[in-house]
Amino acid sequence: MRLHEECARTLGIEVIDGEWPVGEARTLEDVQTRFGVSRTVAREVARQLEVMGLVLTRRRHGMLPQPVERWSVLDPKLIDWRLRSTRRADQLRSLTQLRLVVEPEAAEGAARHASVHTRARLLPLAAEMRRTGEAGDLQEFLQHDIEFHRLILRSSGNELFAALSDLVAVVLSGRTDQGLMPAQPQPEALDGHEAVAQAVFRGDPAAARAAMQLILDEVRSAVSPP
């Protein structure tokens, strides 16, 4: 990670956590002093935070944290930061709600629109997910899981769904990196991915939607409080 990205992440998480409250100005000099960086690096930190909507930079005032309504909440980097913050549980719930809306529809679309190559690729991916999941190899399982969901979103026939594929990858990685995955994926999740793959391969939109809905219902149960 480059120096300005490391500094920006530290400050960004402080905004997310409320440790750097809305309206409390900090200057480039503050950033330079705190992190021991050059003015050029401090400017890049400010630029990155502003692009993400976390701060507003004003001449003679410095950087001013912004309320969540102004954040670029679909920015994969911001999502990653939120998953590393004390607000992690809230972020996981909101992202899961988004996935519940989008991914069953995307699976239905993939059953209608996916290419022959994609349909053929999903079946061995689901098989590899079962193999690595049952073996407890979460890192390899994660890579197959990410590719599976990316293929579904990008083959849905909806360009907006396709644009969310990197976001879903960050969510899946975040659950694993933050230790929120069980030692072995639930059998229902493995069954569900195989069912989605088979339905898309057959060109059965209703079955693909229903199977993806079951996967996301399991995810919702995992991230929701008891």
Q: Say if CB 127 and CB 173 are below 8 A apart.
A: no
Kindly give the interhelix angle for 205-223 and 88-113, rounded to the nearest 10 degrees. 170
Shortest CA distance to 203 belongs to which of 108, 100, 104?
A: 108
- The whole-number pLDDT of residue 31 equals 96
User: Would you give per-residue pLDDT tens digits along the chain (226 residues)?
Assistant: 688 899 999 999 999 999 999 989 999 999 999 999 999 999 999 999 999 999 999 988 899 999 999 999 999 899 999 999 999 888 888 998 999 999 999 999 999 999 999 999 999 999 999 999 999 898 899 999 999 999 999 999 999 999 999 888 888 887 777 666 677 888 999 999 999 999 999 999 999 999 999 999 988 887 765 5
Burial of 58 from C-beta contacts in 10 A (0-12 / 13-18 / 19+): exposed
User: Going from the N-terminus, what domains does the chain have, and what CATH number goes with each?
Assistant: 3-70 (1.10.10.10), 76-223 (1.20.120.530)
What pLDDT is stored for residue 169 in this prediction?
A: 87
Distance in angstroms (rounded) separating the CA atoms of residues 201 and 24: 54
Cα 65 to Cα 55: distance, rounded to the nearest angstrom: 4
Is 0.85 surpassed by the pTM of this model?
yes
Both tokens of 5, joined, read 């990205």
d(C-alpha 29, C-alpha 161), whole Å: 42
pLDDT for the residue 180: 66
User: What stretch of H or E contains 196?
Assistant: helix 187-202
Q: What is the pLDDT of residue 23?
A: 87
